[in-house]
């Protein structure tokens, strides 16, 4: 049976990227050796790294003066590495969810944190004061767990840092508005194990504190992400995903694809009397669509879970901290998978109305 993969992360990737990785694991670039067993310093892998960085910059239209590096440690290590490298005295953290709050917690180890937060995570804070003497402001562009998303590139007058783990390459981004963008690759780009960082070179090197070599961005920029052994397999897959994104219209093409999927699903959530959305309409994510059953239909939750499962849909359970349902509509997910979900919602409605 065809599967419809709505998992939040690790998650769906283009089939072409998976297939190319399988081939490379058998015989990498005609070397007769598995990608898992070649030297990362060999010319074949160095070419993969160089092409991945070049394509990453090309697709996101990254201006001069920025570096792209691939690291280990996940987005969670960036929660600490960002303040270690950038926080002198004070930073602003927009707390829009669980991940944002984890990022702010690490920053508090390094200086004062001014937190911006709504009473709950079902909408994004707006029109807040940003102290102009802060070193930077940190946002989490897509709230993977609650389903809100910042779909613009804001200007707060101070350096902007964004955790784009779950929406990188889902839309065009004006990188020139950012000092630093980071994310774990396992939502929209590659298998887990690699973390991307886009950093404006001029913001680095202004810190008095000593930074351990591995935690200093400049180490990895200088060594082209080869200071130590990089995660070669996910970097290879990331390159193949980037090729797929380029072949499918780049970030403009992805935005069109993603809007079509999100529009289809939200329209059904709003129309179908069994279901309702959980976040403020103006802040709805096009990547992470969260919804619940209306109170009088709550007893049908298990039925809906069983129905979708019987039709090959996986990964629809809401995050354990929120409950309900969540459909992750990452780039590689086809519109036909969302249509299958919408059809299941209609089928349940027909049975129970």
Ligand X SMILES: *Cc1c(COP(=O)(O)O)cnc(C)c1O
Is residue 9 involved in binding ligand X (CB under 6 A)? Answer: yes
Count of residues in contact with ligand X, rule CB under 6 A: 12
Choose the stretch contacting ligand X; rule: CB under 6 A; options: 33-41, 160-168, 267-275, 305-313: 160-168
* Strands, E assignment, the chain: 4-5, 66-71, 90-95, 112-117, 136-140, 160-163, 180-184, 195-200, 275-277, 288-293, 313-314, 325-328
Closest approach of ligand X to the CB of residue 75, in Å: 4
Contacts of 58 (CB under 8 A, 6+ apart): 246
- Binding test (CB under 6 A) with ligand X, winner from 163, 216, 240, 283: 163
Is residue 184 involved in binding ligand X (CB under 6 A)? Answer: yes
Residue 181: which of 190, 169, 192 has the closest Cα? 169
Is residue 231 involved in binding ligand X (CB under 6 A)? Answer: no
CB atoms < 10 A from the CB of 55, how many?
18
Is residue 165 involved in binding ligand X (CB under 6 A)? Answer: yes
Which residue, 8 or 113, is less far from ligand X as judged by CB?
Answer: 8
234 φ, ψ to 5°?
Answer: -60, -30
- Binding test (CB under 6 A) with ligand X, winner from 95, 96, 140, 170: 140
Q: Which of residues 236-275 bind ligand X (CB under 6 A)?
A: none
Which residue, 14 or 183, is less far from ligand X as judged by CB?
Answer: 183
User: Edge-to-edge strand order for the sheet containing 288-293?
Assistant: 275-277, 288-293, 325-328
Angle (nearest 5°) at CA 160 between 79 and 72: 30
Is residue 194 involved in binding ligand X (CB under 6 A)? Answer: no
Choose the stretch contacting ligand X; rule: CB under 6 A; options: 15-23, 71-79, 113-121, 325-333: 71-79
Residues taking part in catalysis: 99, 163, 187
Q: CB–CB of 49/235 below 8 Å?
A: yes
Place of tokens 């990089």: 230
Is residue 191 involved in binding ligand X (CB under 6 A)? Answer: no
User: How far is Cα 264 from Cα 285, in angstroms, rounded to an integer?
Assistant: 13
Site string for ligand X, 93-112 (x = CB under 6 A): ------x-------------
Q: Which residues make up the interface to ligand X (CB under 6 A)? A: 9, 74-76, 99, 140, 144, 163, 165-166, 184, 187
């Amino acid at each position: 049976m065809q599967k419809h993969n709505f998992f939040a992360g690790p998650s769906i990737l283009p089939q072409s990227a998976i297939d190319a990785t399988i081939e490379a694991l058998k015989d990498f670039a005609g070397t007769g050796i598995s990608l898992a067993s070649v030297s990362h310093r060999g010319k074949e892998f160095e070419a993969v790294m160089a092409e991945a960085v070049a394509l990453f910059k090309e697709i996101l239209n990254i201006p001069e003066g920025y570096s792209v590096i691939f690291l280990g440690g996940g987005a969670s290590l960036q929660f600490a590495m960002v303040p270690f490298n950038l926080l002198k005295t004070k930073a602003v953290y927009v707390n829009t969810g669980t991940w944002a709050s984890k990022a702010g917690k690490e920053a508090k180890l390094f200086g004062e944190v001014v937190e911006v937060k709504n009473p709950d995570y079902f909408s994004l804070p707006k029109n807040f004061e940003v102290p102009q003497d802060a070193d930077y402001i940190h946002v989490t562009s897509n709230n993977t767990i609650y389903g809100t998303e910042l779909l613009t590139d804001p200007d707060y007058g101070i350096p902007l840092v964004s955790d784009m783990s779950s929406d990188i390459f889902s839309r065009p981004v004006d990188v020139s508005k950012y000092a630093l963008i980071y994310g774990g690759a396992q939502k929209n780009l590659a298998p887990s194990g690699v973390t991307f960082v886009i950093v404006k070179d001029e913001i680095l090197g202004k810190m008095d504190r000593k930074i351990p070599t591995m935690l200093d961005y400049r180490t990895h920029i200088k060594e082209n992400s080869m200071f130590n052994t990089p995660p070669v397999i996910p970097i290879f897959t990331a390159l193949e995903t980037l090729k797929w994104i380029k072949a499918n219209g780049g970030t403009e093409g992805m935005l069109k694809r993603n809007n079509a999927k999100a529009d289809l699903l939200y329209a059904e959530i709003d129309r179908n009397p069994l279901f309702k959305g959980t976040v403020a309409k103006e802040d709805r994510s096009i990547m992470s669509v969260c919804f619940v059953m209306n109170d009088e239909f709550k007893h049908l939750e298990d039925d809906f879970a069983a129905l979708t499962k019987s039709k090959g849909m996986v990964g629809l359970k809401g995050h354990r901290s929120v409950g309900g349902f969540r459909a992750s509509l990452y780039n590689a997910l086809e519109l036909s998978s969302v249509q299958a979900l919408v059809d299941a919602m209609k089928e349940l409605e027909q049975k129970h109305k």
